[in-house]
Structure 1
């Protein structure tokens, strides 16, 4: 039957699902094992949520299921394209993907710790920065004692590598 013969109130709403963290086209989706585990746990949680929906109204239920399915589709794509990086195989004396880096920033007296992770795992509040971020890019291949400079519109910020761990 043509959609032209369906009552307007019977039309399905297209679920609006926010995109996942940006991963530019052509960039490999690197993840840590912790990041991959989190993606798999998220998938399990969404699947469980879909199976245990307590919505009795059929239309509302279909909309909720469509929304979860749309989120699962994006998530499954990330999981399918993920490439787990074995942190034990990274050069332990250089900053690479997965490194936990202790940094002295500018003239600060304190040291801040950041880990370079995949885009889905990144969370600045937890000290996790995406490998595609400007800070991560300037730190890669550096060693303890090296300095990296980030050019900002109004200043240059210098990061001194104090420690590297995996």
Structure 2
């Protein structure tokens, strides 16, 4: 039988996006900015993108034969993707624990939301910001609070040395600087 005539499995419609794991009993910490970004994406999907795709699918379906109708087939696929993302975002926002890192402004101890500059044994400095699982951008130097490097850094202070199990073996890291965003001023 040709692949063109096989029915998609029911599993394709289900939420097959695995949620990144949280530590047992852990919370899904997220910064206020990260929470707002996810919420805005969810609202945009529900209020804007999904209605547009539904309209396209409705129009394409009215054109007759659906089996060879590219607009219809693509639209249905896109609707499944949008619905899957809506379910994912809804679940993540429901369990999100917003933690404002600016509350620690001026503190030299590493907590969630800290921007930490550290130096390894080879003298190489690196700066990372510890953020929530759902908001991390590795290209911006952000790491998840449950990542091995973040776990090694958490609760340490400027001047402390911590051990970190890197892929190449055990490394010693010296904490050079810890900073937090300034609290927003209300006007």
Using structure 1 for the length normalisation, give the TM-score.
Answer: 0.81
Q: Residues 138 and 149 of structure 1 are in contact (CA less than 8 Å); yes or no, is this contact kept in structure 2?
A: yes
148-157 or 76-85, which moves further after superposition? 148-157
Q: CA RMSD in A?
A: 2.5
- Counterpart in the other structure of 1:77: 91
SS in 2 for 1:52: helix
Using structure 2 for the length normalisation, give the TM-score.
Answer: 0.73
Once the two structures are TM-superposed, the CA of residue 132 in structure 1 deviates from its matched residue by: 0.5
90-99 or 60-69, which moves further after superposition? 60-69
Task: Count the aligned residue pairs.
Answer: 158
Task: For 1:59-78, list aligned pairs within 5 A.
Answer: 60=73, 61-78=75-92
User: Against the structure 1 CA distance between its residues 42 and 106, is the aligned structure 2 distance closer, same or farther, given a 3 Å change threshold?
Assistant: farther
- Counterpart in the other structure of 1:95: 110
- Counterpart in the other structure of 2:132: 118
Task: State which structure, 1 or 2, has the greater radius of gyration over its C-alpha atoms.
Answer: 2
CA deviation vs aligned residue, 1:77-121 (integer Å, no higher than 9, x gap): 111111111223337120000001111122234x22101100011
User: Against the structure 1 CA distance between its residues 134 and 108, is the aligned structure 2 distance closer, same or farther, given a 3 Å change threshold?
Assistant: same
Q: Residues 20 and 120 of structure 1 are in contact (CA less than 8 Å); yes or no, is this contact kept in structure 2?
A: no
